[in-house]
Chain A
């Protein structure tokens, strides 16, 4: 340690390399990817996708070993924590990222895009996400958010000769930066009144009376609004449909699953660790947000004719379902435990089925070169396998047993009734009605595939490249197995409860 540092009272932090291993491995793969790309010529460029995919699986290994070790590890004064919550989400990000790589192989390879850079950006964003899962400090959260957002802005504009893709990137960038600014202002207010950026300390302070000052309330709301943009909650969702439609489809899959999950990871840590004393502020906030997001997302999705836009609005609506448990915690803090599990469980199941749906969209578009729902006419006749698989994903998204989505909906309802107050039940009924509305547009695609004639009578079979085929097998197996044995995912959802939360729950 140098004399200057010593004079400043700098204490060298203790580094737990095991805890940092997923991030370190991923950062290493990033460097390898960037350097290796220099030596690839046109014919060997495909190798970058292999490096990216393998790298993600490698990074998932330490997540496993950490889970086996099982102890909670905190570093940097509690700013970086590896607990079950963090591990479950890191696993989700890395495996979800792996599936996105599978989806990208042919799309990027055949599209004459910059392959090495594409995977570099994708993995950078993922690095931001796994960091987010461990971030328990306002600044760490912000750094993670920027690390995952900046590459995502670039990825959205990856088809640079397509004006729609440009529009997608610009909209996403402008609104994203605006949201970040709002959030930073909120964070500064919270910091100003509590004097700390560590969430656990903020949580301990916020329960007390001096922090009931309006400015703190304002700060909390601003921080949450920032993340409401990230998870495209109504009324902060306007960027999502345009960005989703314009971005390359694998990137859309990535944004609608991984990026959304990262937003939720941040929100969960903020509200359950940092702001749990102030559920009087964020409870009603999320209640309204959830009701609006579900309803508006669903109603607009009903009118879509483009499948990617439909899935975009559906993902807005699904985000609304995930907000429901947060909305009821404010009414009855005792439901905090089941609410947290519900959101995590929902995220995991949603990731599997939504990635699957996008895998089919990408596969079918290889033949039809179209994103219109009408182009799915008669799919069951010439590609029965794909039609059945897509049907599985759609009705899973709609929440029909025995497909995984039903359990996601069930745990949301469970959190609602665990809270059990009148307002919670009202939200539950709104959720139930929305679940029925949602069926309508999912079934519309199924109707197209099964009950409508083939457009132009073009029955050339759809070729399924191996990587997309593997992605389909993974996701469809996941959707079916988790639907019949939800215990597998429910346990993960249950594990992912914060220690801090347990302490607060016992106090109640």
Chain B
């Protein structure tokens, strides 16, 4: 490996950080330069992403590519190992892409107390953490990046958020930190029992010798770390608060990327390293997943705030992803990765639209909304499009995350109780009906009808320039992936096989 190959991933991770450092040098008043620096940084990072997309060997999605392996903390035998395979690639590129779109969207959408310098610097640090998590192939490195996202998100919610922001911010932080404290205990247990290495690839072989009961315990520790991040029922309570209070860009990133760190952790670390424990725990994970699907859907129906409704729908959608993972089949895992990307695009988009509506009407209370299609028809149509995608309409991306996950539950991996998973399948299928219910209900209240009296005379500007630039790529992708899902499945398919290798899957 030579030249750019060995630098691509490192650049992808640390370019945003360098950009953040440059931002610190730009005076606070020079807002145009600040935005330009941030945009150029994310664009350059995305360009690296495109280069990676082009040079990725699609014939070998099951192998780690662009691998760099350098010494880092020798004393604890932790190394700087980065690399991507077919599972990481879509998520990494999604992260770069969404970060760039967020900077574009921010151009004229800075929430109070304004301060673009701090806001964009945090956004860039956040991107470093997210990209790093998706490329790290060493547990300690993964842990560090996994945690790096906490601080920027804490401040983003706490400083730029809604009225109840301080509570939401600390709740988000404490929940995640609690999970990761148990997760790191699990990582260290793997280290000592699995041959004194933190390398994820090596552990897939060396950890198999760990006693079964110990494996179960370690898996439980990892589960806590990842499940809180996903978030799975009953650890989800931080999510509605965080989403509701976060500024638009914060919500988008949270929904599009941060939640995926949890599900990605299951696919990348927990299942390949501890397959036996995974089989043991899978029915319980599946149970929590379907509870999440139903609970999230019912929660949606009880919401009066549009953003909170979307937040609860996230819980339901992540339930499908987790159900796909819990089946421990090729099919289910493919669906899960697809579901992650699709949910990232669709829910990210929904939060964008919600943010823009709030910008114009200063409320998201469903009882006060109405007639968006009359006042701002383009935005109304976009909302409708995203709602359709979110409820899993065939032909749009959401369908390929949900439907195969449900199907996979019909025939779970060997060793899993078939009847139980079939029951889950039925419940999850019922969940899709609920999903149609709450999304259409939301659409009806927000977009249909006539504007309420208080907003009747108000001119509501339709989608503006930066919004078009930020949104259209997402909308196109939702459609393209919906019509031609093979685009993504062919990337993930080989890689999920590796994740399940130890199960003979």
Residues of A participating in the B interface, judged by any CB pair closer than 8 Å = 341, 380, 384, 391, 395, 400-402, 406-407, 410-411, 413-414, 416-418, 420, 425, 428-429, 432-433, 435-436, 439-440, 443, 446-447, 450-451, 485-487, 490-491, 493-494
Asked whether B192 lies within 8 Å of A417 as measured between CB atoms, the reply is: yes
Which residues of A have CB within 8 Å of B169? 447, 451
Do A413 and B188 form a contact, CB below 8 Å, given A436-B174, A450-B159, A494-B75? yes
Which residues of A have CB within 8 Å of B144? 401-402, 406
Do A447 and B170 form a contact, CB below 8 Å, given A400-B147, A401-B148, A487-B74? yes
Does B151 belong to the interface (CB within 8 Å)?
yes
Q: Which of A407, A440, A494 contacts B170 (CB 8 A)?
A: A440
Which residues of B have CB within 8 Å of A490? 73-76
Q: How far is the CA of A435 from the CA of B154 in the complex (A)?
A: 17
Closest B residue by C-beta to A484: B144
Enumerate B121-180 residues with CB–CB distance to A below 8 Å. 140, 143-145, 147-148, 150-151, 154-155, 158-159, 165-166, 169-170, 173-174, 177-178
Does B181 belong to the interface (CB within 8 Å)?
yes
Asked whether A428 lies within 8 Å of B174 as measured between CB atoms, the reply is: no
Asked whether A402 lies within 8 Å of B148 as measured between CB atoms, the reply is: yes
Q: Which of B118, B148, B189 contacts A384 (CB 8 A)?
A: B118
Q: How far is the CA of A400 from the CA of B148 in the complex (A)?
A: 8
Asked whether B143 lies within 8 Å of A493 as measured between CB atoms, the reply is: no
Enumerate B187-214 residues with CB–CB distance to A below 8 Å. 188-189, 191-192
Which residues of B have CB within 8 Å of A425? 185
Do A432 and B170 form a contact, CB below 8 Å, given A414-B76, A487-B74? no
Do A406 and B147 form a contact, CB below 8 Å, given A450-B159, A494-B75? yes
Which residues of A have CB within 8 Å of B75? 341, 487, 490-491, 493-494
Q: How far is the CA of A410 from the CA of B185 in the complex (A)?
A: 9
A179 to chain B, nearest CB (A): 33
Closest B residue by C-beta to A341: B75
Asked whether B174 lies within 8 Å of A439 as measured between CB atoms, the reply is: yes
Asked whether B181 lies within 8 Å of A433 as measured between CB atoms, the reply is: yes
Asked whether A410 lies within 8 Å of B165 as measured between CB atoms, the reply is: no
Interchain residue pairs with CB less than 8 A apart (29): A380-B118, A384-B118, A400-B147, A407-B73, A410-B140, A414-B191, A417-B188, A417-B189, A420-B192, A425-B185, A432-B178, A432-B181, A432-B184, A432-B185, A436-B174, A436-B177, A439-B173, A440-B170, A443-B154, A447-B169, A450-B158, A450-B159, A451-B166, A485-B72, A485-B73, A487-B74, A487-B75, A490-B74, A491-B75
Q: How far is the CA of A436 from the CA of B184 in the complex (A)?
A: 13
Does B488 belong to the interface (CB within 8 Å)?
no
Do A417 and B191 form a contact, CB below 8 Å, given A439-B174, A451-B159? yes
Asked whether A451 lies within 8 Å of B148 as measured between CB atoms, the reply is: no
Does B182 belong to the interface (CB within 8 Å)?
yes
Residues of B participating in the A interface, judged by any CB pair closer than 8 Å = 28, 71-76, 118, 140, 143-145, 147-148, 150-151, 154-155, 158-159, 165-166, 169-170, 173-174, 177-178, 181-182, 184-185, 188-189, 191-192
Which residues of A have CB within 8 Å of B118? 380, 384
B261 to chain A, nearest CB (A): 14
Which residues of A have CB within 8 Å of B165? 451
Asked whether A414 lies within 8 Å of B182 as measured between CB atoms, the reply is: no
Assuming A417-B189, A432-B184, A436-B181, what are 15 further A-B pairs, CB within 8 angstroms? A400-B150, A401-B144, A401-B147, A402-B148, A410-B184, A414-B188, A417-B191, A417-B192, A418-B192, A429-B182, A443-B173, A450-B158, A451-B159, A451-B166, A486-B73
Q: How far is the CA of A443 from the CA of B171 in the complex (A)?
A: 11
B22 to chain A, nearest CB (A): 15
Asked whether A450 lies within 8 Å of B74 as measured between CB atoms, the reply is: no
Q: Which of A380, A401, A413, A440 contacts B174 (CB 8 A)?
A: A440
Which residues of A have CB within 8 Å of B73? 407, 485-487, 490
Do A447 and B74 form a contact, CB below 8 Å, given A400-B151, A433-B181, A435-B177? no
Please provide the 6 A-B residue pairs with the shortest distance between their CB atoms, ordered closest to farther.
A432-B181, A490-B75, A401-B144, A417-B188, A401-B147, A436-B178
Asked whether A443 lies within 8 Å of B147 as measured between CB atoms, the reply is: no
Which residues of A have CB within 8 Å of B154? 443
Q: How far is the CA of A402 from the CA of B71 in the complex (A)?
A: 17
A127 to chain B, nearest CB (A): 31
Which residues of A have CB within 8 Å of B71? 487
Q: How far is the CA of A384 from the CA of B159 in the complex (A)?
A: 13
Closest B residue by C-beta to A392: B151
Asked whether B188 lies within 8 Å of A429 as measured between CB atoms, the reply is: no
Closest A residue by C-beta to B128: A402
Closest A residue by C-beta to B154: A443
B86 to chain A, nearest CB (A): 27
Which residues of B have CB within 8 Å of A401? 143-145, 147-148
Asked whether A428 lies within 8 Å of B151 as measured between CB atoms, the reply is: no
Q: How far is the CA of A439 from the CA of B158 in the complex (A)?
A: 15
B156 to chain A, nearest CB (A): 11
Which residues of B have CB within 8 Å of A402? 144, 147-148
Asked whether B188 lies within 8 Å of A443 as measured between CB atoms, the reply is: no
